[in-house]
């Protein structure tokens, strides 16, 4: 019902979402960086009309950028003249500094919402509407930040270089000769890498502390007692004389003099260990599924937009429904529909600022030019409640399949009204073909070229005969969905014939897959 209400009220749901703050403050006092959240500050944000500093001051950044782009190549004299009529250096600096500070503060809250919501076992938080609203506003804020950066380039104040720093790639402002004394770049640099890498280091330290504590407890209290399955309790790897183990952060077993064969054997053993990905594996009775793939303008669901989605259905066991239309034509002429049915592709738009900036990386990857996606012909997915309702209904009807499904799941959580609530209630089952490749496809095992295994959709589809070796993954939603489902069905057929995978002794009955809430085998 919540999503239908949003359809009737337009963007007013963004303001109404702040009514949920009392639910969140009781369960989530701190953000992802373990800092107290000022929920009064959150309540003060104008999520409906925009939280950017330029937006709040009614500054038309598109007009500013257009004026800057059409100016002569800047010199100190011409740039000063342009600033007087458009935007001063100090104004630009202050706007960008304020926006970056707001984004850092807001994203630390959004980053903690999933954990708080999914571990709210008393159901004090009834809705995920507020995090979706925060993400909606944050996407537009990110567009404003990118516009301000581009204006600085046009004004001759800095250049922008993309640099990989730890887990993320960030834009780094670099001074232009002669302009370094006119703007302080230090306090308007992107802090995303520092924040994300810092969180990862804290999580790793916490895990290490728990592992060490658990092992010490087992040594002190159980003195080598083994579990019924004969594995040591809290055994993180056999310890050597230094107290370091054979796996994980405790160190590596053996010395640097080990042979390449020994190193590969250890790497393969570690690769084959069961981990959290196994929860997404299918069961032996899985039949009807909906495959889905989305294309986006980036990787962070709180910053970027869904611009393309494709889904189709396929039965893993039963025949293709006789009444379904046949002969669907994909973009790739050599794709044959086969057992697939119910194909659909959806194209979505981006805001005007995002379109003006363009996205060369996504254009090269997918062929989609976001500069053409700001018109009336393309609605934004996060502003299209009816499309969200329709997608959610399909996701609930049967398990849905994606390759690296955590990607789709993270975007659905922050874009699809009702998805988070339905997932938490156990109404959505997710199956991932990436762990199928990793666990059950011998062609994926690590080697020198792929030290972590070769589990891209392109590689998996080729090994399973769903994509010709001379072709490449298309990076469009429907086409990638199709090769994924074709590969999955072939793979399951091979595993069934060989008694492996779901049909092994450790295989799961029913649909399998990842779901929350009450568990039972379908």
Task: Pick out the chain residues at pLDDT < 70.
Answer: 1-9, 71-85, 179-181, 221-258, 517-522
Q: In angstroms, rounded to a whole number, what is the distance separating the alpha carbons of residues 411 and 392?
A: 13
Cα distances (angstroms) measured from residue 313 to each of 316, 341, 486: 10, 5, 11
pLDDT in tens, 386-434: 999 999 999 999 999 999 999 999 999 999 999 999 999 999 999 999 9
Give Cα 416 distance to the centre of its chain.
14
CATH of 276-503, one of 3.30.420.10, 3.50.50.60, 2.70.98.30, 3.30.70.100: 3.30.420.10
Location of structure tokens 């981990």: 275
pLDDT score of 333: 87
pLDDT score of 4: 45
Q: What is the DSSP string of 133-188?
A: HHHHHHHHHHHHHHHHHHHHHHTTSEEEEEEEETTEEEEEEEEPTTTTTTS--GGG
The length of the chain in residues reads 522
CATH 3.30.420.10 domain range(s) in the chain: 276-503
Q: Label the pairing between strands 288-296 and 430-432.
A: unpaired
Q: Which two tokens stand for residue 124?
A: 């004090």
Q: What are phi and psi of 163, to 5 degrees?
A: -125, 140
pLDDT in tens, 37-59: 999 999 999 999 999 999 999 99
pLDDT score of 210: 83
Q: In angstroms, rounded to a whole number, what is the distance separating the alpha carbons of residues 64 and 83?
A: 10
Q: Is 341 helix (H, G, I), strand (E, B) or coil?
A: strand
pLDDT score of 451: 84
Residues 6+ away with beta carbon under 8 Å from 401: 289, 290, 291, 292, 430, 431, 432, 433, 484, 485, 488
């Amino acid at each position: 019902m919540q999503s239908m209400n949003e359809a009737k009220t337009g963007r007013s749901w963004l303001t109404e979402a702040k009514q949920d703050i009392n639910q969140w403050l009781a369960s989530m006092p701190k953000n992802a960086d373990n800092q107290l959240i000022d929920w009064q500050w959150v309540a003060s944000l104008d999520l409906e009309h925009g939280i950017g500093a330029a937006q709040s001051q009614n500054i038309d950044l598109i007009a500013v950028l257009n004026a800057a782009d059409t100016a002569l190549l800047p010199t100190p004299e011409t740039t000063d003249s342009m600033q007087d009529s458009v935007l001063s250096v100090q104004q630009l600096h202050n706007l960008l500094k304020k926006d970056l500070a707001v984004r850092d503060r807001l994203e630390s809250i959004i980053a903690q919402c999933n954990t708080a919501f999914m571990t709210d076992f008393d159901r004090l938080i009834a809705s995920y509407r507020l995090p979706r609203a925060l993400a909606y506003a944050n996407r537009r804020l990110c567009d404003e930040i990118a516009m301000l950066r581009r204006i600085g380039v046009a004004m001759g104040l800095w250049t922008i270089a993309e640099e990989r720093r730890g887990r993320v790639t960030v834009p780094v402002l670099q001074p232009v000769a002669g302009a370094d004394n006119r703007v302080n770049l230090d306090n308007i640099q992107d802090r995303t890498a520092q924040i994300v890498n810092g969180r990862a280091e804290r999580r790793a330290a916490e895990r290490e502390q728990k592992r060490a504590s658990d092992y010490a407890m087992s040594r002190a209290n159980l003195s080598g007692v083994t579990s019924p399955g004969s594995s040591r309790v809290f055994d993180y790897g056999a310890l050597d004389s230094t107290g370091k183990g054979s796996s994980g952060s405790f160190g590596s077993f053996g010395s640097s003099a080990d042979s390449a064969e020994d190193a590969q054997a250890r790497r393969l053993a570690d690769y084959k260990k069961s981990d959290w990905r196994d929860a997404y594996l299918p069961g032996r009775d899985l039949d009807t599924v909906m495959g889905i793939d989305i294309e986006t303008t980036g990787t962070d669901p709180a910053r970027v937009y869904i611009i393309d989605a494709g889904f189709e259905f396929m039965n893993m066991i039963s025949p293709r429904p006789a009444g379904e239309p046949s002969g669907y034509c994909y973009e790739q002429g050599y794709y044959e529909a086969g057992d697939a049915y119910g194909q659909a592709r959806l194209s979505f738009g981006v805001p005007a600022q995002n379109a003006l900036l363009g996205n060369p990386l996504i254009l090269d990857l997918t062929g989609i030019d976001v500069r053409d996606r700001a018109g009336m012909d393309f609605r934004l997915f996060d502003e299209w409640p009816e499309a969200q309702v329709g997608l959610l209904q399909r996701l609930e009807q049967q398990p849905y399949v994606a390759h690296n499904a955590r990607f789709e799941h993270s975007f659905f959580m922050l874009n699809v009204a009702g998805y988070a609530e339905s997932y938490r209630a156990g109404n959505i089952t997710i199956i991932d073909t990436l762990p199928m490749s990793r666990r059950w496809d011998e062609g994926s095992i690590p080697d020198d070229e792929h030290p972590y295994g070769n589990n891209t959709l392109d590689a998996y589809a080729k090994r399973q005969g769903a994509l010709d070796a001379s072709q490449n993954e298309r990076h469009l939603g429907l086409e990638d969905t199709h090769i994924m489902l074709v590969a999955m069905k072939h793979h399951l057929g091979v595993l069934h014939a060989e008694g492996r995978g779901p049909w092994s002794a450790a295989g799961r009955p029913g649909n399998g897959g990842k779901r929350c809430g009450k568990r039972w085998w379908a």
